């Protein structure tokens, strides 16, 4: 007869060994899985590691270039500022105003006397020293505008002004003749030099009073004479800066 207690006792170590082996296998499998995950993460981390920045920098531009860039910025800023101010205040007219001088200081006395005779009844010898004039440079010669500077040639339309084209080695030619009112608000000039428009002589801007306003007229050379090209009303007299 078989002893059951003996069988049971003898089989217990075998069962224990089997459980230990199974547990050991599971631990090995888990450890292998963990190692695999860690290895994958390490590879991924290595692949996506950001590039290391280096201490290398581009060399600074030469001092000459930096100096040029600085003054270019300053010049551009000043240009934009002046453009805004001129747009608000209408300073484009005064940018190229002209200055009157004695005519005999610009051309010969004989030429001045000739112009007096051609345009007025004044005594040329007695008036020659009183005539004023201004030179305007052109592409071909110059324009000289004469101001007779006497009430004898003034009337309801203003005072007489004559412009002559002086070309090298050629007789002078009258290209402008008009009555203009020289009385203007303080700080305002009668004449200013305008654009060229691809002509031998540039345009002339004339400022005149019109009731309580100022009118700017633009006279341009057409190849033979000056003619009115356009005009516009400016600020009213009571809004002009003092």
> Which pLDDT tens digit goes with each residue over 211-240?
889 999 999 999 999 999 999 998 665 555
- Based on the domain organization, do 84 and 100 belong to the same domain? no
pTM: 0.60
Per-residue tokens: 74: 């300053």
**How many CB atoms sit inside 10 A of residue 91's CB?**
11
How many Cα atoms are found within 13 Å in the side-chain-facing hemisphere of 41?
A: 6
Res. 59: pLDDT tops 70: no
Give the Cα separation of 30 and 37 in Å (integer). Answer: 11
Q: Tell whether 2 is covered by a domain.
A: no
75 and 110 both lie in a single domain: no
| Of 36-50, 93-107, 136-150, minimum mean pLDDT range | 36-50
**Same domain, yes or no: 110 and 221:** yes
pLDDT in tens, 40-54: 545 444 454 544 545
Task: Tell me how crowded residue 130 is: count the other CB atoms within 10 A of its CB.
Answer: 16
> Beta-carbon neighbour count of residue 226 at 10 Å?
21
Report residue 165: phi and psi, to 5°: -95, 115
Question: Based on the domain organization, do 198 and 84 belong to the same domain?
Answer: no
Judge if 220 and 197 occupy the same domain. yes
Mean pLDDT value across residues 103-118 = 97
Q: What is the rounded average pLDDT of the residues 160-177?
A: 97
Report yes or no: 191 and 145 within 8 Å, Cβ to Cβ.
Answer: yes
Element (H, E) at 234: strand 226-236
Q: Which domain holds residue 118?
A: 92-239
Name the E strands within 93-224: 101-102, 132-137, 142-147, 154-155, 158-166, 173-180, 191-193, 204-210, 213-221
Q: What is the mean pLDDT of the chain?
A: 77
């Amino acid at each position: 007869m078989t002893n059951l207690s003996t069988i049971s006792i003898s089989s217990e170590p075998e069962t224990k060994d089997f459980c230990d082996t199974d547990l050991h296998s599971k631990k090995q499998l888990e450890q292998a899985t963990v190692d695999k995950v860690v290895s994958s993460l390490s590879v991924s981390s290595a692949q996506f590691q950001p590039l290391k920045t280096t201490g290398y920098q581009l060399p600074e531009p030469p001092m000459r270039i930096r100096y040029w860039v600085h003054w270019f910025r300053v010049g551009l800023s000043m240009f934009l500022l002046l453009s805004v101010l001129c747009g608000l205040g209408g300073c484009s007219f005064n940018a190229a105003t002209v200055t009157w001088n004695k005519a005999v200081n610009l051309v010969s006395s004989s030429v001045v006397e000739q112009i007096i005779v051609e345009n007025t009844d004044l005594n040329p010898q007695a008036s020659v020293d009183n005539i004023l004039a201004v030179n305007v440079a052109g592409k071909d010669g110059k324009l000289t505008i004469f101001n007779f500077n006497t009430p004898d040639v003034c009337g309801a339309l203003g005072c007489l002004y004559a412009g002559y084209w002086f070309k090298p080695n050629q007789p002078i030619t009258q290209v402008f003749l008009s009555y203009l009112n020289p009385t203007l608000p303080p700080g305002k000039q009668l004449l200013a030099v305008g654009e060229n428009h691809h002509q031998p002589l540039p345009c002339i801007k004339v400022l005149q009073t019109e009731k309580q306003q100022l009118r700017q007229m633009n006279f341009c050379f057409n190849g033979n004479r000056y003619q009115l090209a356009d005009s516009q009303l400016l600020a009213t007299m009571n809004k002009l800066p003092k």
